[in-house]
């Protein structure tokens, strides 16, 4: 990915299977119904009947070069089954294994009864800056590659598609252009094979990773800025017409959390009360282990805002979502060991946290209540370093789990990372940062969830 999110909260543990779970846990390791880690980065989504299709980049080879556009199916957006690859490399073309294929998006063309895929098509050095088009008669294809080109002769890097709700299902290409300086929206032809007219340009906006939803007649454009592999506060813009004028940018989450360490890839609209922000938590040094960050979007304040739920669920029949509740345990209520110490800062829950963990400093938390099964536990931490830290977590004297803790953008910013721990029924003892020579991040609190 030319620019995006530099790293992610990576759990050095056995992959946790969410395939049959009823909850969505942003940042966890999501696996499909065969137990394999889902490979659908930079994804796009399509619903046909009662089936959802998830198209994305297969990065299991941990490379930015093209391996496949994967296709997964689900009836509930939680349990995903991998189908045949939708698009695979063709030597001697712009979709060879030496090229870049990113951000695949698929729409249905009712005129031709055909599924049309658009994607960012590029050379390995991102010098071509093109779009690619492929077609199929079924959602997962396989797709037949048609061509790659620059729309109207101009750059196209990070891109998306938006299909309007008019009778003709008019569809638009959303793309970062002119060396990522200008963001453009162009109308597709009736076949969805090419662009016919540019309808809007946000000049000098430096936007990428776009998505649009239309709510109550208002178009909402979601996008990130371009900050290399570092996260940034993703923005939204609104308009009553795709030709503009567009509103000024506004945040979809508190700016300091940098979109909870993620980058927009798709925005799924259900009804005026339910939409989902779907983002990627990139790990450029190990792309196949990049994670997915999905959050509800709420308009309760009158503008779209991410609901930062550690654990949450969807009810597709009612078009509603539920944020799971958990039990909070403050880190400072535990027993400090070695060089660990209490930190005081208004940014911490209750104004205090535990620091100097690792390198001899430990924290033991007793009487952590469990229900006798594996449970999601969110660790709330602050890491003001420019690099990532790790902490070990051990339950009831069992083997340690290592949890990555990326930088939080400053020492006064608190983020959470999920880990699944086997807790016995009743009281448990959880020890942090034991046996590690490196320093862990400062621990503010943990929240233990019973929803699975």
**Residue at which a domain ends, from 323, 346, 361:** 323
Neighbour-count burial for 264-289, b at 16+ CB within 10 Å, e otherwise: bbbbbbeeeebbbbbbbbbbbeebbb
336 and 228 both lie in a single domain: no
231 and 372 both lie in a single domain: no
Residue 406 lies in a domain: yes
286 and 308 both lie in a single domain: yes
34 and 112 both lie in a single domain: yes
273 and 359 both lie in a single domain: no
**Residue at which a domain ends, from 305, 323, 341:** 323
Total number of domains in the chain = 2
264 and 373 both lie in a single domain: no
Residue 29 lies in a domain: yes
* Predicted local distance difference test score (pLDDT) of residue 16: 36
89 and 77 both lie in a single domain: yes
* Predicted local distance difference test score (pLDDT) of residue 17: 36
CATH code where residue 436 lies: 2.60.120.260
291 and 312 both lie in a single domain: yes
Find out whether 72 and 292 touch, Cβ atoms under 8 Å: no
**Residue at which a domain ends, from 323, 347, 367:** 323
Q: Domain range for residue 258? A: 23-323
351 and 270 both lie in a single domain: no
228 and 333 both lie in a single domain: no
* Predicted local distance difference test score (pLDDT) of residue 284: 86
Residue 16 lies in a domain: no
* Predicted local distance difference test score (pLDDT) of residue 267: 98
Residue indicated by tokens 């008669």: 137
* Predicted local distance difference test score (pLDDT) of residue 13: 31
Tens digit of each residue's pLDDT, the chain (452 residues): 333 333 333 333 323 333 334 899 999 999 999 999 999 999 999 999 999 999 999 999 999 999 999 999 999 999 999 999 999 999 999 999 999 999 999 999 999 999 999 999 999 999 999 999 999 999 999 999 999 999 999 999 999 999 999 999 999 999 999 999 999 999 999 999 999 999 999 999 999 999 999 999 999 999 999 997 788 999 999 999 999 999 999 999 999 999 999 999 999 999 998 999 999 999 888 899 899 999 999 999 999 999 999 999 999 999 999 999 999 999 999 999 999 999 999 999 999 999 999 999 999 999 999 999 999 999 999 998 888 899 999 999 999 999 988 889 887 899 999 999 999 999 999 999 999 999 999 999 999 999 88
DSSP state letter for 37: B
Residue 142 lies in a domain: yes
CATH code where residue 226 lies: 2.115.10.20
Residue 49 lies in a domain: yes
Total residues belonging to the chain: 452
Is the backbone peptide bond immediately before 86 cis, with ω within 30 degrees of 0? no
264 and 376 both lie in a single domain: no
Residue 4 lies in a domain: no
Residue 192 lies in a domain: yes
CA distance 437 to 435: 7
Residue 184 lies in a domain: yes
286 and 423 both lie in a single domain: no
């Amino acid at each position: 990915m030319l620019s995006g999110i530099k790293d992610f909260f990576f759990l050095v543990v056995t992959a946790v299977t969410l395939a049959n779970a009823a909850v969505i846990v942003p940042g966890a390791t999501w696996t499909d119904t065969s137990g394999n880690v889902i490979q659908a980065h930079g994804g796009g989504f399509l619903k046909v009947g009662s089936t959802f299709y998830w198209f994305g980049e297969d990065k299991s080879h941990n490379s930015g070069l093209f391996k496949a556009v994967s296709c997964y199916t689900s009836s509930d957006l939680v349990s995903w089954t991998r189908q045949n690859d939708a698009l695979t490399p063709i030597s001697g073309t712009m979709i060879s294994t030496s090229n870049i294929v990113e951000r695949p998006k698929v729409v249905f063309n009712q005129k031709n009864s055909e599924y049309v895929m658009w994607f960012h098509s590029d050379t390995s050095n991102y010098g071509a800056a093109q779009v690619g088009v492929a077609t199929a008669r079924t959602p997962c294809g396989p797709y037949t590659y048609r061509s790659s080109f620059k729309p109207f002769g101009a750059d196209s890097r990070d891109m998306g598609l938006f299909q309007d709700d008019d009778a003709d299902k008019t569809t638009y290409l959303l793309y970062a252009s002119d060396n990522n300086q200008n963001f453009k929206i162009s109308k597709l032809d009736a076949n969805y094979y090419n662009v016919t007219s540019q309808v809007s340009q946000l000049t000098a906006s430096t936007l990428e990773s776009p998505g649009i939803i239309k709510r109550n007649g208002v178009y909402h454009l979601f996008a990130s800025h371009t900050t290399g592999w570092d996260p940034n506060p993703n923005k939204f813009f609104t308009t009553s017409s795709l030709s503009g004028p567009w509103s000024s940018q506004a945040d979809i989450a508190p700016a300091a959390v940098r979109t909870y360490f993620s980058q927009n890839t798709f925005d799924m609209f259900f009804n005026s009360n339910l939409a989902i922000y779907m983002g990627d938590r990139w790990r450029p040094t190990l792309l196949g282990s990049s994670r997915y960050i999905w959050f509800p979007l709420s308009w309760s304040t009158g503008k779209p805002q991410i609901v930062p739920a550690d654990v949450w669920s969807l009810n597709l029949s009612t078009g509603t979502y539920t944020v799971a509740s958990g039990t909070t345990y403050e880190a400072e209520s535990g027993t400090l060991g070695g060089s660990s110490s209490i930190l005081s800062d208004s940014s911490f829950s209750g104004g205090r946290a535990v620091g100097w963990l690792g390198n001899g400093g430990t924290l033991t938390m007793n009487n952590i209540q469990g229900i006798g099964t594996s449970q999601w536990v969110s660790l709330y931490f602050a890491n003001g370093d420019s690099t990532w830290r790790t902490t070990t977590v051990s339950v009831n004297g069992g083997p340690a789990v290592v949890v990555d803790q990326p930088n939080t953008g400053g020492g006064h910013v608190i983020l959470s990372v999920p880990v699944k721990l086997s807790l016995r029924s009743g009281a448990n003892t959880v020890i942090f940062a034991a046996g590690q020579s490196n320093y862990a991040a400062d621990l503010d609190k943990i929240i233990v969830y019973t929803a699975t």
